[in-house]
Amino acid sequence: MSSDDLPDQGKIRPAPESFLDSDLIESISRHGVDHRRRGLLQSAFGAAVAAMSGAVVASDQDILTLPEWSRTLGKPVAANPYGQPSIYEQNIIRRQSPGLTQTDQASVAFTPLQNMFGMITPSGLHFERHHQGWVDIDPRRHRLMINGLVEKPIVFTMEELMRMPSVSRLHFLECGANTALEWGNSAVPTVQYTHGMLSGSEWTGVPLSLLLERAGYDKGAKYLLAEGADGSSMTRTINMENALDDAIVAYGQNGEMLRPEQGYPLRLVVPGVQGVSWVKWLRRLEVGDMPYATKDEASHYVDLMPDGQQRQYTAIQEAKSVITAPSGGQKLQNRGYYNITGLAWSGRGTVTKVEVSVDGGRNWREARLDGPVLPKMLTRFHADWVWQGETALLQSRVHDSTGYIQPQRADLVAVRGTRSIYHNNAIQTWRVKSDGEVDNVQLG
Ligand code: MTE
């Protein structure tokens, strides 16, 4: 492949669902939506299927001729000491939302959920949310201090922490502000922007309970203050209940050390709890007997209710699901079979059932769940659908192990109003128009 074949900067290829098209290098909008060829099922694929079923495809050079990569030497192993995605995947990137103010440091970049498979987010595509930019800390100089209501304040080095007994567990991380723009009528175009402050990873580290035991924490203490080492003074109150349950002081993500954007070398993992409490670049844990009411829990991450009161310390991410394909910005090219797929999760436990509707919630049918279905982790679901060219309203709704059922937007708004920024777990609607275009609509 010569450098001439590489996509130009700013002229990246369409979403990967189009990779069977021979014309790979096409310009698309900077938000990952190809306005000319957004096919989920391209004609080349149709031709291949026809060939498999016995039809003669005399003109398909991709089948009739031996491609150059079958006639030449491949690249040496040393060419890629740390593996990178194919050059044909350069469009699969984190993106900043068109609906939010974009600043360099206090910012957010969203995971391209529309391009993901399964339940694990590749570390390089994990969404990132920083209040003061990200830092790359020398692990030899990083320390974790545990103080406050403890018998013996302790300071750990990374080496000491990594010698302790460890656990590896899969959990989702969702920002409390995920889906914030859907409170209003802004209806951003793609699932990357509506739900992309969501990722799923395997996290490795030391159980927080073990570290607290080691410091001899006061058994009457009810709270912890977690503090990050970045310039944002990120400090959050953690309930002792969550801390002692399944929280991890993590250094590993998907089998390797955390990425700097995710808090290298140490972050707090508080399964099921909103992302802001997963303090990155973790340097201090203080055991205390009352909530700390820090700036990030007194003025931010509170929900403004219709009566003007603020809901505070709403830590748990309630059950939620979203269809990731077909989803906003994509286009169905042909009538026929589609695999409706998406993700479901619950901060209170396990997904027990996902239902899918193609008529805006009038009729529901049960989706297939990919296993394993794990507590406080993303679950991938699928539903078969034959599209006949009609206008369709695609929705998914999740049930969790507490019996909770994800609400329709109108039901959530009836209780919460529209002035919250945070904790929007309403059912998402994607409209498939008769020309196959899919867009984001709000019902009710
Ligand atoms: N920790 C520190 N120290 N500084 C931060 O800016 N952002 C928080 C949280 N932990 C933040 C932090 C927020 S708001 C979220 S949603 C998650 O980290 C995002 O984690 P991620 O960037 O790994 O996706």
- Which superfamily does 107-311 belong to? Oxidoreductase, molybdopterin-binding domain (3.90.420.10)
Q: The whole model's pTM is what?
A: 0.89
CATH architecture of 320-441: Sandwich (2.60)
Domain ranges of the chain: 3-64, 107-311, 320-441
Indicate whether residue 175 lines ligand 1 (CB < 6 A).
yes
Give the 3-state secondary structure percentages of the chain, helix then strand then coil, rounded to 5.
20, 30, 50
Instruction: Tell me, in angstroms, the distance from the centre of ligand 1 to residue 134's CA.
Output: 9
Nearest CA to ligand 1 atom 23: 262
- Cα 382 to the center of its chain, rounded Å: 18
Indicate whether residue 198 lines ligand 1 (CB < 6 A).
no
The two structure tokens encoding residue 279 = 């303090």
Nearest CA to ligand 1 atom 11: 130
Q: What is the pLDDT along the chain (444 residues), one digit of tens a residue?
A: 333 333 322 222 334 333 333 333 333 333 445 444 344 433 333 444 444 444 546 788 889 999 999 999 999 988 899 999 999 999 999 998 876 766 776 789 999 999 999 999 999 999 999 999 999 999 999 999 999 999 999 999 999 999 999 999 999 999 999 999 999 886 789 999 999 999 999 999 999 999 999 999 999 999 999 999 999 989 999 999 999 999 999 999 999 999 999 999 999 999 999 999 999 999 999 999 999 999 888 888 888 888 888 887 778 999 999 999 999 999 999 999 999 999 999 999 999 999 999 999 999 999 999 999 999 999 999 999 999 999 999 999 999 999 999 999 999 999 999 988 899 999 999 999 999 999 999 987
Nearest-5° Cα angle at 350, 279 to 392 = 100
Instruction: Tell me, in angstroms, the distance from the centre of ligand 1 to residue 174's CA.
Output: 10
Categorise residue 263: left if φ over 0, alpha if ψ from -120 to 50, beta otherwise: left
